[in-house]
């Protein structure tokens, strides 16, 4: 038990070489996202460590379970390293292109793993953190899990497969989360479908120890182990405003959604309307709406190819740099951000256009 606890709870160093700390205990591969000062945000170095590590683990018949967790207790993974992407885009180097192409390939790889892949979503899980978990078989939330897709507020879009998993959430919830950046907490992460199970914090440490060294690695036994610590689906525990979401976010355009919110005098509607119209990029909102509309009928592979096109166009436009500068307080910045004028319908379409020959993402 001491050896297992050490592998699951010890604090690691934060040198670049140790951005990912991987360990094997018996037949379990334990992967630690190890950038606690940055809330374990995903950088290119981490992607380049994770990709071959997961490939080799999946190919090794002696490694029968993969457990991924964040170090530090505050976050699983707070998203992609937007500062590095911002700086690379500003400098005109290849970092953004490399990061997005390799990150999306990692997302796709996770969806294809045959070895059971378990993400322990303890703490903040946003953007890229959802991307390296939601495509795996098991995503386990607990009381302090916080999940969100806040990209509209930084002038970007819901990538890492958001085109695929968001429109497949119940009802209009995916559209609501994508356009508002609403933060799901605790049980609601499970209720939404982003997590597959919810484990109360009282059982969390005991569960992690059991998971690191299960009595059997048979897939059915792993499933039963996770189920034995999980709470059953109890909708009355949820605080997701389902009726509100369906009433306002089932409309057929961003304009219709905003019009619906504006007619609602409730504090919730006024707050969300203000956030969408003052704090979110108007172009991002329209692109996000369209990407979810298209993604509903696409495979994950095709969604990721589409998203790489979107990312490539966003790197040519000012809103991402405006939004990141505002969030990170990079001078000169304004708050709220001064977004570019809303792109026309034809302008939105260019975000989805195929890239020149040989430049589209290959999976």
Catalytic positions are: 80, 128, 151, 159
CB 176 within 8 A of CB 245: yes
Beta strands 138-141; 117-121: pairing state:
parallel
C-alpha 26 chain-centroid distance: 30
C-alpha 31 chain-centroid distance: 17
User: How does DSSP assign 239-283, residue by residue?
Assistant: ---HHHHHHHHSSSSHHHHHHHHHH--SHHHHHHHHIIIIIS-HH
CA separation for the pair 107, 154 (Å, rounded): 21
Quick one: CA dihedral 276, 279, 281, 287, positive or negative?
negative
Beta bridge partners of residue 81, listed in sequence order = none
CA distances from 176 to 27, 28, 64, 121, 125 (A): 40, 37, 37, 21, 17
Q: What is the CA radius of gyration of the chain?
A: 20
Quick one: CA dihedral 341, 347, 353, 358, positive or negative?
negative
**How many residues make up the chain in this entry?**
363
CB 146 within 8 A of CB 191: no
113: nearest Cα among 183, 63, 187, 163: 63
CA separation for the pair 38, 262 (Å, rounded): 37
Cα 135-137-141 angle, rounded to 5 deg: 90
């Amino acid at each position: 038990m001491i050896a297992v606890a050490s592998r699951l709870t010890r604090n690691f160093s934060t040198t670049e070489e140790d951005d990912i700390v991987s360990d094997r205990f018996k037949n379990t591969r334990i992967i630690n996202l190890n950038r606690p000062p940055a809330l374990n945000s995903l950088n290119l170095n981490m992607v380049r460590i994770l990709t071959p590590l997961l490939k080799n683990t999946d190919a090794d018949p002696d490694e029968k379970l993969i457990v991924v967790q964040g170090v530090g207790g505050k976050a699983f993974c707070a998203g992609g390293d937007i500062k590095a992407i911002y700086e690379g885009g500003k400098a005109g180097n290849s970092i953004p292109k490399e990061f997005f192409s390799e990150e999306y390939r990692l997302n796709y790889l996770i969806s294809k793993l045959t070895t059971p892949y378990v993400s322990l979503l303890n703490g903040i899980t946003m953007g890229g953190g959802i991307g390296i978990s939601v495509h795996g078989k098991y995503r386990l939330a607990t009381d302090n899990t916080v999940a969100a897709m806040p990209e509209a507020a930084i002038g970007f879009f819901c990538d890492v497969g958001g085109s695929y998993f968001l429109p497949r959430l119940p009802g209009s919830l995916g559209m609501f989360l994508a356009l508002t950046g609403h933060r799901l907490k605790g049980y609601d992460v499970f209720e939404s479908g982003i997590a597959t199970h919810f484990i109360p914090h009282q059982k969390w440490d005991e569960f992690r120890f059991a998971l690191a060294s299960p009595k059997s690695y048979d897939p059915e036994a792993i499933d039963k182990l996770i189920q034995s610590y999980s709470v059953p689906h109890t909708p009355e525990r949820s605080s997701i405003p389902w009726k509100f979401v369906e009433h306002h976010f089932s409309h057929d355009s961003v304009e219709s959604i905003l019009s619906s919110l504006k007619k609602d005098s409730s504090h919730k509607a006024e707050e969300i309307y203000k956030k969408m119209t003052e704090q979110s990029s108007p172009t991002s909102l329209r692109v996000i709406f369209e990407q979810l509309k298209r993604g509903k009928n696409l495979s994950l592979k095709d969604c990721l190819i589409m998203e790489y096109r979107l990312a490539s166009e966003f790197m040519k436009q000012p809103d991402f740099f405006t939004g990141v500068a505002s969030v990170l307080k990079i001078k000169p910045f304004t708050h709220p951000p001064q977004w570019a004028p809303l792109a026309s319908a034809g302008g939105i379409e260019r975000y989805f256009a195929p890239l020149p020959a040989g430049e589209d993402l290959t999976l």
